[in-house]
Structure 1
Amino acid sequence: MMRALRVLIGLLLLAGAGFGGFVYTSDMLAATQDSGGGRPERGPLQVRTEAAQTMRFAETVEAVGTARARESVMLHPPAAGRVTEVAIDPGARVSEGDVLLRLDDAEARARLTATEATLTQTRAAHDRLQALSRSGSVTEANLEAARADMMRAEAEHALAETALRDRTLTAPFAGVVGFTDVARGELVDTATEVTTLDDLSVIDVAFSVPERYLSRLARGQLVELTSAAWPDRRFIGEISAIDTRVDETTRAIAMRARVPNDDRALTAGMFLRAALVLDERQATAVPERALSVAGDDSYIHIAEAGTARRVSVTTGRMAAGMIEVSGPVQPGDAVIVTNLANVSDGADVEVLAAEQARLEAPSQ
């Protein structure tokens, strides 16, 4: 009996202690809340933005091509003979008519002198007989014979002049000369290869594209070209010719593009990549990393007066880290590009300045 009484008293004491602790804890929490010591509210979400901008987007078809000089020729001597002068500086630019090679011309000059003497003599004889014919002292047959002699002398003189000119090789057009293996004193003929001459002021690029693009091709259409030799440059040309037939084997159509080459950066034989511009337009673009996708919905967030606004967009082409968008987005809008996992429509945001964003960015 006494043992049961002691157990009952112990339980009553434990219950009283528990109730007292509950009351004490409740009072402390109430006091804390009354004193303003509750959990602080979270501030606006810090983000970084980039401005939407207007960009050029182009629809292109790509091909590979080979550069060709606008005019290119292998030069040969116009006649046979011994070389007396070589005026070829490989890689140098020459003008039309510049002398590149001279042959021994002593015999040609002597022949020209002889024909000049004969021509002078026959002209004098013809003029004398023509004067006498007016008085009837010379028959018409004699006058015709003198005229024939004079014309024959004129023809021989013209041939002698041509033969003398053929002792000199000149540039048929302005361009750049290549290497030569011809030396002074060498005997050459009309089959001897002297040097190459290329007009590189304009480059023609030969390439082909699939026939399905034929209806969208036209002379004057823009072509962008790149070369491994100039990785940081883009060369702009236009279609100058389109073939009249489609290749039956490849089902491609050949064409030529003409590219200005004033600084001679391109040369004949170079491998080039061509991007034929089928269509181009100006459109609003935003950074690719600003785009979010949820199901069929593509959207971005724009920071406006400290608030994030979700904007659904339709996307298009991509270029240089930017993507074409259409929707309620204007060039200059502050598009949020960081902290996207935490941004929501209507959220309070604080746009970091560029330098502050760089300092607070996590190290990689």
Structure 2
Amino acid sequence: MNDEPESGRRAAMKFSDDPGASRATWVAAFLIVVLTAWFASGLVWPSEAPETEQDGNVQAPITVAVRDSTAEMITEFFVAEGQAVADRDTTIHAETSGDILDVAFDKGDTVSAGDVIGRFDPGHRTAELDRAQAEVERAEREFQNAETLFARGTATEDRVTEARTALAAARAQRAAAEQAIEDTMIRAPFDGRLEDVFVDPGEFFSAGAEVARVVDLEPLTVRARVPQQSLRSLTEGQAATVRFITGETREGIVRFVGASADPATRTFLLEIEVENEDGAIPAGVSTEVSIATGEVAAHFISPAILSLSEDGTLGLKTASDDNAVQFHEVSILRAESEGVWVAGLPDTARIITIGQGFVRPDDTIDPRPDNGAQLAETASGPIQ
């Protein structure tokens, strides 16, 4: 226990007793004065405000890259998807009823017009023809006798007329019997390929039943649909290139352009005739049709620089002579591996290739030649 008197204790030290305390106070006060003066300087001497469109001033030009482009004359093509179809495709129907006697061709065989594909058993039809032939011979003798007697004056003119009528009836009956025999023959209606044969020897078929199907692939017909806006550029007789999905490419001629639109699609039928003498191209395969429709001035560009207007119109932005942005509506004419050909630009144009996303029509720009290098960032942001 400390017995030292209370008055003799050492007094506790305070921060104000430190000799450097007053110096820190003056430093803090000085900093407050400096900061206050710096904030107030903006009120006394305001800095120049950037020019903005709200003040009615022109915004600082935005740096963009441009490339000079000159239009070239290229061939414009109408291109459409199509399908190859047989020039003629016919199902043969039985002309009579009866049993099939024999079949001369198999499915897949090539036939010529008039070839007998198969026959019905003629049966009683042969006997009918023999009877009709005998009746014709008898009627001919009667007619000759009537004419002889009439010439001698021993027969009347009515007898000659009756004999002539009987002869005509006999000949008609013979013709019907001959046709009945002909109807037993199943003949090819034209040159082609037997796509199917539905009959076998011994089978019974009724008149009107399907017995065979013949297709004609020479020439081949390619059908496509034409939209309304392309109809005027197509005429009969134009040359066409047809690429088949099987890999072949053939030249053809436009044979038919429809004059009445399909009510459902508002498109018109287009038919192209393609030579197919070897029969290598089957009917039904998909095709791509390409028809040259004329020449047009076009620019070759990268599709990456195409833009859309506020209403969704496809176009390109260019720099005018006074360095203002212009928007031109364009249409793509042809696509290639390295770019696309577009129409709608002037013959010569300064196309904005970098920075088109940062500018709008009528904006003032600072165009720089596009040398393939990335431009530096501008006050409005990086050019992309």
TM-score by length of structure 2 reads 0.58
Deviation sequence 1:153-204 (CA, Å, 0-9, x none): 0000010110110011111111000122321100002232222101111111
Number of the residue aligned with 1:262: 277
Detail structure 1 runs of 4+ shifted over 3 Å in the superposition. 316-324
- Mind listing any 5+ residue stretches in structure 2 that lack a counterpart? 1-72, 303-316, 320-332, 342-346, 349-370, 373-384
CA contact (8 A) 2:96 2:208 kept: no
Could you tell me how far apart the structure 2 residues matched to 1:182 and 1:115 are?
31
CA contact (8 A) 1:220 1:238 kept: yes
Number of the residue aligned with 2:287: 272
Q: Alignment partner for residue 127 of structure 2, among 106, 110, 121?
A: 110
CA contact (8 A) 2:80 2:289 kept: yes
Q: Which has the higher helix share?
A: 1
RMSD: 3.4
Q: List aligned pairs for 1:114-133, cutoff 5 A.
A: 114-133=131-150
CA contact (8 A) 1:57 1:317 kept: no
Q: 1:126 to 1:107 in 2, by over 3 A?
A: same
CA contact (8 A) 2:196 2:214 kept: no
CA contact (8 A) 1:57 1:319 kept: no
Could you tell me how far apart the structure 1 residues matched to 2:274 and 2:228 are?
23
**1:76 Cα deviation (Å)?**
1.4
Q: List aligned pairs for 1:86-235, cutoff 5 A.
A: 86-230=103-247, 233-235=248-250
Q: Mark the structure with the bigger radius of gyration.
A: 2
Q: 1:321 to 1:57 in 2, by over 3 A?
A: farther
Deviation sequence 1:110-132 (CA, Å, 0-9, x none): 11111000000000110011011
Could you tell me how far apart the structure 2 residues matched to 1:174 and 1:88 are?
14
CA contact (8 A) 2:193 2:214 kept: yes
Q: List aligned pairs for 1:10-49, cutoff 5 A.
A: none
CA contact (8 A) 1:227 1:272 kept: yes
What letter matches 1:213 in structure 2? S
What letter matches 1:163 in structure 2? A
Could you tell me how far apart the structure 1 residues matched to 2:334 and 2:232 are?
22
**1:68 Cα deviation (Å)?**
1.5
Could you tell me how far apart the structure 2 residues matched to 1:190 and 1:223 are?
44
CA contact (8 A) 1:218 1:239 kept: yes
CA contact (8 A) 2:95 2:208 kept: no
What letter matches 1:189 in structure 2? S
Deviation sequence 1:279-305 (CA, Å, 0-9, x none): 269x9xxxx9xxxxxx989xxxxxxxx
**1:58 Cα deviation (Å)?**
3.6
What letter matches 2:237 in structure 1? G
Q: 1:137 to 1:271 in 2, by over 3 A?
A: same
Deviation sequence 1:141-160 (CA, Å, 0-9, x none): 11111111100000000101
Q: Aligned to 2:258, what secondary structure does the other structure show? A: strand
**Percent of aligned pairs with the same residue?**
27
Deviation sequence 1:185-242 (CA, Å, 0-9, x none): 0000223222210111111112111111121110011222122222xx2121121111
Q: Does 1:245 align with 2:231?
A: no
Number of the residue aligned with 2:43: none
